[in-house]
Structure 1
Amino acid sequence: MLQKIKRLFVIKTRFEACLIIYALALGAIERGSAYLTQFPGWGGKMLFLAATGSVFLAGAKIFDCLRFEKEKREAEHSAT
């Protein structure tokens, strides 16, 4: 039973990764717009860019990990 619950929190496909990245982006935009109202001017814009830029870094890392895990599974499958 625990394994089934654990599998819910594992990203298995690119589609799932895109959904998660989309959710991260929505949160970053919301946080960035709050920064713009709290810190008007240059500082708020820089914090907005930092919040949204982190989504690009996280998305790239997620896609890299998916590719690595796929290659690892294929290598294990071909070895057996």
Structure 2
Amino acid sequence: MLRKLGRLFVIKTRIEAFLIIYALALGSSARGMVYLHEYPGFGGKLLFLATTGAVFLAGAKILDCLKLEAEVGELRAQALPRE
């Protein structure tokens, strides 16, 4: 039962990754708007850029990990002896 629940939190496809990245972007832009309101001027703009930049970094890492997991899966499939 716990394995079934755990599988819900595993990103398997690029579509799922893009949906998660989109959700992260919405949250970061909302937080960035709060920063712009609380810290008017250059400081607020820098914090806004930092929140959106974090999404770019996280999105790139998610997509790279998906590619790596696919390559590892292929190597494992090749290494298994066929019966």
Q: TM-score range by the shorter chain?
A: over 0.9
Q: Give TM-score, length-normalised by structure 2.
A: 0.95
Unpaired stretches in structure 2, ≥5 consecutive residues: none
Rg larger for: 2
Percent identity of paired positions between Structure 1 and Structure 2: 65
Q: Partner amino acid for 1:55? A: V
- Which aligned pairs between 1:1-80 and structure 2 lie closer than 5 A? 1-80=1-80
What 5-or-longer segments of structure 1 have no aligned partner? none
RMSD: 0.4
Whole-angstrom distance in 1 between the partners of 2:33 and 2:23: 16
Cα drift, residue 79 of structure 1: 1.2
Q: Which runs of 4+ in 1 moved over 3 A?
A: none
Counting matched residue pairs gives 80
